[in-house]
Structure 1
């Protein structure tokens, strides 16, 4: 990912927290099928390996898991808040008019090689942990054990799990750091005043 130094995020805890906070990631592989991408919820174990390890599963009918099994490098994209930045937000617009639109955003890219598995016990642990994470906070959280055991067994046979130790991380926080203090304040105020929730989220990050 092209990342000018002003926007580079290299703090490991910050990168890992972004991964933890992302509910749906994009998994990209490259092999015999060419470039393939799928959107998947993932579990993240930050303590496993120097950068942490990702866990997820794909449908067995999806040939992309075979690309994982072949051991090529995998890219996982963790998007964050983003917002269009209007030139009208900049204080410098009134000074000289030499301003153009841009886009502010936060993203983390993780790279590594995956290990594929289809052991029923390991898969059940994975899907149970994923379910518990996303059911947390509900008044009556659904659990894997709520479904009939034979049904769950049949569903587990239809998926393939993977573990992806992260070999390197790239982080980008493009939050107008290359602008003057007055321009940064103008962008933050302009986004905070927007009715769009993503604009407001980006404004919060700029604070």
Structure 2
């Protein structure tokens, strides 16, 4: 069994040298670790045979030192998984809120056409049902600093930028309607266009 296992280990290492993408450090490390642990834990085949304790003690000490060195070289994680889980929950919460706000916006437009609401009434509805929720979402997304190493960090940045655009667009539209200011209304439409473009694949915040 010893020679068969040794031959298999040699073949594995040779293949690791020949084939790209194979981590030979794992193979060589496993081979040496197996030798040390096997030597340290070996038992005599015959009851009256005694194995020398000093080489076994040295093998065990070498194994322990190698293990401590390995543990000391483990790099610190780039991020904590609980932070990533929290970020994903924030994203999911915002997406649900955004869908609800979009539906509310459609309802406001439909009701204002049907009821003939004044510009002041429409502006008040926009501030309350559109601007305030996006303001709250923006503050929630900005409340906790985001580790750039998080897989969801770029998505959070984009959603924060998106929420800010939606908030500013709704505020500007409401102010433009109240003051009958075409400039503010045009500014609102420009901000809304930027926010809509962020929904397209491949668009990232500046």
TM-score, length-scaled by structure 2: 0.19
The structure with the largest alpha-carbon Rg is 2
- Structure having the larger proportion of residues in helix: 2
TM-score, length-scaled by structure 1: 0.19
- Structure having the larger proportion of residues in strand: 1
